[in-house]
Each structure stands twice: as structure tokens, then as C-alpha cells.
Amino acid sequence: YRYLADYLLKSGKERVTLTFSEIENILQTKLPQSANDHRAFWSNSTSHSIALSWMNVGYETTEVNMGKFVVFEKKRGY
């Protein structure tokens, strides 16, 4: 999931909205089915490797429209 982390970091934006399709393009692979079926996949949890990818570069998910888009926002202090 490093490509997603790099994308967010390079964006420099406070808020980044990406469709599921855009995320797959960034990752250069399909998201697992659980990304479409389970909101918990997008939670800001240190037990999920994909969550660590955005959290380690200072972002958190703030909105998820299942199967459609995810909103990432820069955490305070980053």
C-alpha cells in the first residue's frame, strides 16, 4: 500500500477524495472484496496494513461511501 501513502504525501492537500477506482489505479491492483463489503476495512486502525499506509503519512479517513469513494484528511500536527 506504499503507492497510496506516496500519493497522499505528494498531494500536499489537507483533504483528498479518491474513488475506489482511483485508489486501485494508484495501487496498481484491485482492492480486496472486503474493501467494498466492510466499512471496517477503511477504519483508522493500527492493526490494518492499509490503514497504516495513510496514517504513517499523517492522514486519516473521515468519510467512506462504500464502493464509491474515501475521504482522507490530514491529521493535526502534520
Q: What is the pLDDT of residues 9-66, one digit of tens each?
A: 999 999 999 999 999 999 999 999 999 999 999 999 999 999 999 999 999 999 999 9
Rounded Cα distance between 8 and 6, Å, is 6
pLDDT at 3 (0 to 100): 97
Please check the confidence at residue 2 and state whether its pLDDT lies above 90. Answer: yes
Q: What is the pTM of this model?
A: 0.94
Q: Pick the closest to residue 21 from 7, 34, 8, 36 (CA basis).
A: 36
